[in-house]
Chains A and B, each alone.
Chain A
Amino acid sequence: EAQVTQNPRYLITVTGKKLTVTCSQNMNHEYMSWYRQDPGLGLRQIYYSMNVEVTDKGDVPEGYKVSRKEKRNFPLILESPSPNQTSLYFCASCTPSSYNEQFFGPGTRLTVL
Protein backbone atom coordinates (compact mmCIF):
# COMPACT_ATOMS: atom_id res chain seq x y z
CA GLU A 1 0.00 0.00 0.00
CA ALA A 2 1.32 3.42 -1.01
CA GLN A 3 1.71 5.49 2.12
CA VAL A 4 3.59 7.99 4.22
CA THR A 5 4.31 6.80 7.76
CA GLN A 6 5.33 8.85 10.76
CA ASN A 7 6.60 7.80 14.16
CA PRO A 8 5.75 8.35 16.87
CA ARG A 9 2.11 9.34 16.48
CA TYR A 10 1.99 10.91 19.93
CA LEU A 11 4.84 12.26 22.03
CA ILE A 12 4.98 14.13 25.31
CA THR A 13 8.40 15.43 26.26
CA VAL A 14 10.10 18.10 28.33
CA THR A 15 11.84 21.30 27.36
CA GLY A 16 15.36 20.76 26.05
CA LYS A 17 15.24 17.01 25.50
CA LYS A 18 16.29 16.27 21.92
CA LEU A 19 13.81 14.30 19.84
CA THR A 20 13.40 12.98 16.32
CA VAL A 21 10.17 12.36 14.44
CA THR A 22 10.66 9.93 11.60
CA CYS A 23 8.93 10.05 8.22
CA SER A 24 9.10 7.42 5.54
CA GLN A 25 7.39 7.05 2.15
CA ASN A 26 7.26 4.03 -0.14
CA MET A 27 6.25 5.80 -3.35
CA ASN A 28 9.75 6.75 -4.54
CA HIS A 29 8.79 10.43 -4.34
CA GLU A 30 11.44 13.07 -4.86
CA TYR A 31 9.85 15.82 -2.81
CA MET A 32 9.21 15.63 0.92
CA SER A 33 8.04 18.29 3.37
CA TRP A 34 7.31 18.88 7.01
CA TYR A 35 4.39 21.01 8.16
CA ARG A 36 3.04 22.02 11.51
CA GLN A 37 -0.66 22.58 12.11
CA ASP A 38 -1.84 25.01 14.76
CA PRO A 39 -5.40 26.17 15.50
CA GLY A 40 -6.34 29.23 13.48
CA LEU A 41 -3.06 29.15 11.55
CA GLY A 42 -3.58 26.24 9.20
CA LEU A 43 -0.54 24.34 7.97
CA ARG A 44 2.82 26.05 7.79
CA GLN A 45 5.80 24.53 6.06
CA ILE A 46 8.85 23.93 8.23
CA TYR A 47 11.37 22.40 5.79
CA TYR A 48 11.25 20.71 2.45
CA SER A 49 13.53 18.53 0.37
CA MET A 50 13.58 18.28 -3.40
CA ASN A 51 15.78 15.18 -3.43
CA VAL A 52 18.48 13.30 -1.51
CA GLU A 53 20.89 15.71 0.21
CA VAL A 54 18.84 18.72 -0.99
CA THR A 55 16.89 20.51 1.74
CA ASP A 56 15.63 24.06 2.19
CA LYS A 57 13.82 26.16 4.75
CA GLY A 58 10.10 26.62 4.63
CA ASP A 59 8.18 29.38 6.37
CA VAL A 60 8.84 28.44 10.03
CA PRO A 61 12.23 26.62 10.22
CA GLU A 62 13.51 28.05 13.53
CA GLY A 63 14.18 25.36 16.12
CA TYR A 64 14.07 22.48 13.64
CA LYS A 65 16.56 20.47 11.60
CA VAL A 66 16.08 17.92 8.86
CA SER A 67 18.17 15.51 6.85
CA ARG A 68 17.62 13.59 3.64
CA LYS A 69 20.24 10.85 3.41
CA GLU A 70 17.91 8.42 1.66
CA LYS A 71 15.10 9.10 -0.75
CA ARG A 72 12.43 7.42 1.38
CA ASN A 73 13.23 9.01 4.76
CA PHE A 74 12.99 12.60 5.95
CA PRO A 75 13.37 12.87 9.75
CA LEU A 76 12.50 16.03 11.67
CA ILE A 77 14.86 16.84 14.53
CA LEU A 78 14.17 19.12 17.47
CA GLU A 79 17.55 19.65 19.15
CA SER A 80 16.15 21.55 22.13
CA PRO A 81 12.35 21.51 22.09
CA SER A 82 10.42 24.37 23.66
CA PRO A 83 6.73 24.65 24.61
CA ASN A 84 5.98 26.79 21.54
CA GLN A 85 6.80 23.74 19.43
CA THR A 86 3.79 21.93 20.86
CA SER A 87 1.82 21.21 17.70
CA LEU A 88 0.53 18.64 15.24
CA TYR A 89 3.19 17.75 12.69
CA PHE A 90 2.64 16.34 9.23
CA CYS A 91 5.08 14.89 6.77
CA ALA A 92 4.17 14.91 3.09
CA SER A 93 5.67 13.61 -0.12
CA CYS A 94 5.14 14.39 -3.76
CA THR A 95 6.51 13.62 -7.18
CA PRO A 96 6.57 16.23 -9.96
CA SER A 97 3.47 15.73 -12.06
CA SER A 98 0.89 17.78 -13.86
CA TYR A 99 -0.72 18.86 -10.62
CA ASN A 100 1.72 17.85 -7.86
CA GLU A 101 -0.56 16.04 -5.44
CA GLN A 102 0.95 15.87 -1.97
CA PHE A 103 0.49 12.70 0.09
CA PHE A 104 0.32 13.24 3.82
CA GLY A 105 1.26 11.08 6.76
CA PRO A 106 -1.20 10.56 9.66
CA GLY A 107 0.39 13.24 11.84
CA THR A 108 2.43 13.36 15.05
CA ARG A 109 0.97 15.17 18.02
CA LEU A 110 3.83 16.63 20.06
CA THR A 111 3.50 18.19 23.49
CA VAL A 112 6.50 19.93 25.04
CA LEU A 113 6.13 20.61 28.76
Chain B
Amino acid sequence: GEDVEQSLFLSVREGDSSVINCTYTDSSSTYLYWYKQEPGAGLQLLTYIFSNMDMKQDQRLTVLLNKKDKHLSLRIADTQTGDSAIYFCAESPDTGTASKLTFGTGTRLQVTL
Protein backbone atom coordinates (compact mmCIF):
# COMPACT_ATOMS: atom_id res chain seq x y z
CA GLY B 1 0.00 0.00 0.00
CA GLU B 2 0.91 3.66 0.04
CA ASP B 3 3.61 4.77 2.43
CA VAL B 4 4.60 8.28 3.49
CA GLU B 5 7.71 8.83 5.61
CA GLN B 6 9.03 11.80 7.55
CA SER B 7 11.71 12.37 10.13
CA LEU B 8 10.23 12.66 13.60
CA PHE B 9 11.91 15.76 14.99
CA LEU B 10 13.51 19.02 13.88
CA SER B 11 14.91 21.81 16.03
CA VAL B 12 15.73 25.27 14.65
CA ARG B 13 16.56 28.66 16.06
CA GLU B 14 14.09 31.50 15.74
CA GLY B 15 14.75 33.47 12.56
CA ASP B 16 16.41 30.55 10.74
CA SER B 17 14.80 28.58 7.93
CA SER B 18 13.23 25.20 8.61
CA VAL B 19 13.12 22.42 6.03
CA ILE B 20 10.84 19.45 6.66
CA ASN B 21 11.18 16.52 4.30
CA CYS B 22 8.82 13.78 3.21
CA THR B 23 9.06 10.79 0.89
CA TYR B 24 6.14 8.87 -0.52
CA THR B 25 5.73 5.71 -2.54
CA ASP B 26 2.46 6.11 -4.45
CA SER B 27 3.34 7.25 -7.97
CA SER B 28 -0.33 7.98 -8.68
CA SER B 29 -0.45 10.72 -6.04
CA THR B 30 -2.31 13.67 -7.46
CA TYR B 31 -2.18 16.10 -4.58
CA LEU B 32 0.36 16.38 -1.80
CA TYR B 33 -0.39 18.32 1.33
CA TRP B 34 1.20 19.79 4.39
CA TYR B 35 -0.98 19.90 7.49
CA LYS B 36 -0.05 21.61 10.76
CA GLN B 37 -1.09 20.36 14.18
CA GLU B 38 -0.68 22.75 17.09
CA PRO B 39 -0.66 21.37 20.66
CA GLY B 40 -4.07 20.07 21.73
CA ALA B 41 -5.69 20.83 18.40
CA GLY B 42 -6.74 19.10 15.23
CA LEU B 43 -4.90 19.37 11.92
CA GLN B 44 -5.18 22.40 9.66
CA LEU B 45 -4.23 22.53 6.02
CA LEU B 46 -1.13 24.63 5.60
CA THR B 47 -0.53 24.30 1.89
CA TYR B 48 -0.80 21.81 -0.96
CA ILE B 49 0.78 21.16 -4.33
CA PHE B 50 -0.56 19.49 -7.42
CA SER B 51 1.62 16.70 -8.75
CA ASN B 52 2.41 18.45 -12.05
CA MET B 53 4.05 21.33 -10.20
CA ASP B 54 7.64 21.55 -9.00
CA MET B 55 7.35 24.40 -6.58
CA LYS B 56 4.75 26.48 -4.82
CA GLN B 57 5.39 29.58 -2.73
CA ASP B 58 2.98 31.11 -0.26
CA GLN B 59 4.40 33.91 1.88
CA ARG B 60 6.98 32.27 4.20
CA LEU B 61 6.22 28.79 2.92
CA THR B 62 7.89 27.10 -0.05
CA VAL B 63 6.91 23.62 -1.16
CA LEU B 64 9.26 21.69 -3.44
CA LEU B 65 8.21 18.52 -5.21
CA ASN B 66 10.61 16.10 -6.90
CA LYS B 67 8.22 13.68 -8.54
CA LYS B 68 10.99 11.48 -9.95
CA ASP B 69 12.38 10.83 -6.45
CA LYS B 70 8.92 11.05 -4.80
CA HIS B 71 10.28 13.66 -2.41
CA LEU B 72 8.37 16.59 -0.97
CA SER B 73 9.75 19.34 1.24
CA LEU B 74 8.34 22.27 3.17
CA ARG B 75 10.57 25.26 3.82
CA ILE B 76 9.52 27.83 6.39
CA ALA B 77 11.48 31.07 6.11
CA ASP B 78 12.19 33.21 9.19
CA THR B 79 10.85 30.54 11.54
CA GLN B 80 8.96 31.92 14.54
CA THR B 81 8.06 30.37 17.90
CA GLY B 82 4.45 30.21 16.69
CA ASP B 83 5.60 27.76 14.04
CA SER B 84 6.32 25.16 16.73
CA ALA B 85 3.95 22.31 15.91
CA ILE B 86 3.77 18.89 14.30
CA TYR B 87 3.79 18.98 10.50
CA PHE B 88 2.22 16.15 8.53
CA CYS B 89 2.84 15.35 4.93
CA ALA B 90 -0.12 13.66 3.20
CA GLU B 91 -0.91 12.37 -0.26
CA SER B 92 -4.13 11.77 -2.13
CA PRO B 93 -4.46 9.64 -5.27
CA ASP B 94 -7.07 11.74 -7.09
CA THR B 95 -9.90 14.15 -6.58
CA GLY B 96 -12.47 11.38 -6.78
CA THR B 97 -11.32 9.88 -3.50
CA ALA B 98 -11.12 12.95 -1.32
CA SER B 99 -11.40 10.89 1.83
CA LYS B 100 -8.42 8.64 1.08
CA LEU B 101 -5.56 10.64 2.45
CA THR B 102 -2.41 8.81 3.53
CA PHE B 103 -0.49 10.68 6.20
CA GLY B 104 3.14 10.53 7.20
CA THR B 105 4.26 10.05 10.79
CA GLY B 106 4.55 13.78 11.41
CA THR B 107 7.63 15.94 12.12
CA ARG B 108 7.70 17.82 15.41
CA LEU B 109 9.25 21.24 14.82
CA GLN B 110 10.76 22.88 17.87
CA VAL B 111 11.74 26.54 17.57
CA THR B 112 14.28 27.76 20.11
CA LEU B 113 15.15 31.33 21.04
Interface residues of A (CB under 8 A from B): 4, 31-33, 35, 40-45, 48-50, 58-59, 90, 92, 94-102, 104-107
Contact = CB atoms under 8 A, between A and B. Distances in A.
A94 B105 contact: no
Contact of A4 (B40, B42, B48, B101): B42
Contacts of A98: 95
B99 A48 contact: yes
A32 B45 contact: no
Name the interface size band of chain B: 20 to 34
B29 to A, nearest CB: 12
Interface of B: 1, 4, 6, 8, 31, 40-45, 48, 50, 88, 92, 95-96, 98-106
Contact of B1 (A40, A59, A95): A59
Contact of B42 (A90, A97, A99): A90
A83 B6 CA distance: 27
Contacts of B106: 42-43
A101 B113 CA distance: 33
